[in-house]
Amino acid sequence: MSVKITDPENYHVALYIRLSKEDDNEGPSQSVLNQKDLLEAFAKRHKLAVYDVYIDDGRSGTRFDRPAFNRMIDDIEDGNVNMVITKDLSRLGRNYSMIGYYTESYFPEHRVRYISVTDGTDTGVETSANDVLPFRAIMDEMYAKDISKKIKSVKNNKQRKGEFIGGKPVYGYKMHPTEKNKIVIDEDAAPIVRRIFAMALDGVSCRKIASVLNEENVPTPATYANLTLGRTGPYTGLWSGERISDMLQNETYIGNMVQGRSKRVNYKSKKSIRQPREDWIVVEDTHEPLVDKENFQKVRMLVESRKRTRSRTYDFLLKGLIFCRECGYPMAVLNRKNAAGEDVLYFVCRTYQRFTKAGVCSSHTIKEATVTEAVLDKVREVCQAYLRPEQLQPMALEAIEKQQRESRNVAEIKSLKVKIDTLTNNLDKVYMDRLNEIIAEEDFQRIYRKMKAQQKELIAKHDALSKQAANPTRAEDEARELVARFVESACTNRELLISLIDRIELTEDKQIIIKFRFRELEKVE
């Protein structure tokens, strides 16, 4: 069915064009130029005013975080666009749920008319093409899923053949100038790699190696490769001990192709999950090594031995809540001996700890006990302001009275009495079996001791419940005791602290800033 537009002067049109790598399989008709020509001809034929052309080239239809698409949405929000035209529905996207959201919710709510030229879809009028739109979207998503599986299978086969399919080779290597999917040594970066392994063989720690490279202003692998980082931090562009450790254990440097270290969650998501070492795809002797295997194994053993000796964790009340005010990163915890030889925990800025000589941030060193005491003092103020015993008393009393009403002491006492009587009868039977020599003396002693212990335990429980039933505790007294115990322990309760405090920041001059989850708590003096 052809699209009819009776009032073209009322529309400001967005021509949306998308092309991804998988679309190459559908032929040249899906090219950006072809889509653009088709849409512009459609707009001209229907005398539509085109506000802008939005092109996402090389963007998958399974995700909607595309630059041009987002720009189009901004123009819709600003009231500049009220009609969106695509070549077909798959150009808008290949994610069924998101297609449904835009065509059935977002566009109608923003008074936007959507037209898919070759499909005949037009949300501005009631057509049979609109009725099958959901099914068409499902088919497009199934196509994207199928293509993703095929691409994944091809890539997996290449990896198992030892062919490199990544974007950038590991630091120290580069793509072969003439052979596809093959890497060769990068003579500019290779000396740094060899030097790193040489220092590690001499017993220099990963952190110390990173410090030396930072002092000499050696470009990091990311800087050397001119990679654009999505998020920057205080130590962006600096070598780290973690980076050195990862390099020292990478078998690529002994000539083995190592791939599959991370895996996409699914074909719709960009997020990758690191895979366990046993699931990596490693093919031996695929390229020239930078390090000989014997030295590589020695270095790996050195790194692994440090992991075993240094992997210490410490438990303390405020764990997970302490951050550096200046750089924003979590504080590290160190254990040091005092003059008396006692263990004392200290907070220190993790950024400073890792990049001391690079001059990034400062130590912020302060005793864990000092911070904890200061935080608890503040929490006590909050407790005193909000946890008033006279206000808690009625709630505690109500809970206790309800518990007493629902108490099943009487029924439990009767049940215990039945169990005790049954055990007593069984003991008598076992004793008679022994007298009649039905069971051996050894078996008798074992069974008798076990049953006697059970009987003793049941009798003790029965007597305690009977005594409690005869002399019940006054609900008021129990409520008063419960409230007093809660108020006294509330400020040292980790669950309560986590519920109240969002984060605690330590400044360079050792100020302690508490960020409560509820702003009104910060006003308590």
- Most confident by average pLDDT, 11-15, 128-132, 209-213, 349-353: 11-15
Q: Can you read off the two tokens belonging to residue 173?
A: 């290597």
Q: Can you read off the two tokens belonging to residue 155?
A: 């890539």
Mean pLDDT of 338-359: 75
- Residue 469's pLDDT is 63
Q: Cα(332)–Cα(321) distance, rounded to whole angstroms?
A: 11
Q: Cα(453)–Cα(442) distance, rounded to whole angstroms?
A: 17
Question: What residues are paired with 272 via a beta bridge?
Answer: 264
Angular region, 87: left φ>0, alpha ψ -120 to 50, beta rest = alpha
- Residue 73's pLDDT is 94
- Residue 309's pLDDT is 45
- Residue 311's pLDDT is 46
The pTM score is: 0.42
Topology alike, domains 8-146 and 173-309: no
Mean pLDDT of 286-301: 86
Residue 257 phi/psi, 5-degree rounding, is -85, 115
More confident residue, 118 or 137: 118
- Most confident by average pLDDT, 26-40, 100-114, 409-423: 100-114
Residue appearing with tokens 């078996």: 443
Residue 259: which of 241, 275, 244 has the closest Cα? 275
Domain 8-146 carries which CATH code?
Answer: 3.40.50.1390
Q: Cα(416)–Cα(437) distance, rounded to whole angstroms?
A: 31
Q: Can you spell out the DSSP letters for 413-449?
A: HHHHHHHHHHHHHHHHHHHHHHHTTSS-HHHHHHHHH
- Residue 136's pLDDT is 53
Arithmetic mean of pLDDT over the chain: 77
Compute CA 279 distance to the chain's CA centroid, rounded to the nearest angstrom.
Answer: 21
Mean pLDDT of 379-398: 62
Mean pLDDT of 486-506: 69
- How many other C-beta atoms are found inside a 10 Å radius of the C-beta of residue 118? 14
Res 228 pLDDT > 90: no
Q: Is the dihedral of CA 347, 349, 350, 353 positive or negative?
A: negative
Residue 52: which of 102, 10, 16 has the closest Cα? 16
Which of the residue ranges 33-42, 207-216, 429-438, 463-472 would you say has the lowest mean pLDDT? Answer: 463-472
Strand-strand pairing, 183-185 and 113-116: unpaired
- Residue 260's pLDDT is 78
Confidence of residue 344 (pLDDT cuts 50, 70, 90): confident
Res 240 pLDDT > 90: no
CATH number belonging to the domain at 173-309, selected among 3.90.1750.20, 3.20.20.100, 3.40.1400.10, 3.40.190.10: 3.90.1750.20
- How many other C-beta atoms are found inside a 10 Å radius of the C-beta of residue 148? 18
Mean pLDDT of 38-62: 91
More confident residue, 428 or 73: 73
User: Which residues have C-beta within 8 Å of that of residue 183, sequence separation ≥ 6?
Assistant: 164, 169, 173, 174, 175, 176, 287
- Residue 55's pLDDT is 94
Sequence spans of domains, the chain = 8-146, 173-309, 322-368, 369-525
Tell me 523's DSSP state: G
Res 180 pLDDT > 90: no
Q: 403-407 — which CB contacts under 8 Å span 24+ positions?
A: 404/472, 404/475
- Residue 47's pLDDT is 92
Residue 66: which of 269, 29, 58 has the closest Cα? 58
Residue 393: which of 295, 478, 319 has the closest Cα? 478
Res 25 pLDDT > 70: no
C-alpha distances in angstroms, 146 versus 132, 153, 348? 21, 11, 51
User: Which residues have C-beta within 8 Å of that of residue 311, sequence separation ≥ 6?
Assistant: none
Question: Kind and range of the H or E element at 115?
Answer: strand 113-116
Tell me 104's DSSP state: I
- Residue 310's pLDDT is 47
Sheet bearing 343-349, strands edge to edge: 331-337, 343-349, 366-367
More confident residue, 42 or 509: 42
- Residue 308's pLDDT is 47
More confident residue, 495 or 414: 414
Question: What residues are paired with 283 via a beta bridge?
Answer: 257
Q: Cα(299)–Cα(248) distance, rounded to whole angstroms?
A: 7
Strand-strand pairing, 113-116 and 121-122: antiparallel
Res 217 pLDDT > 90: no
More confident residue, 175 or 464: 175
Percent with pLDDT over 90 in the chain: 13
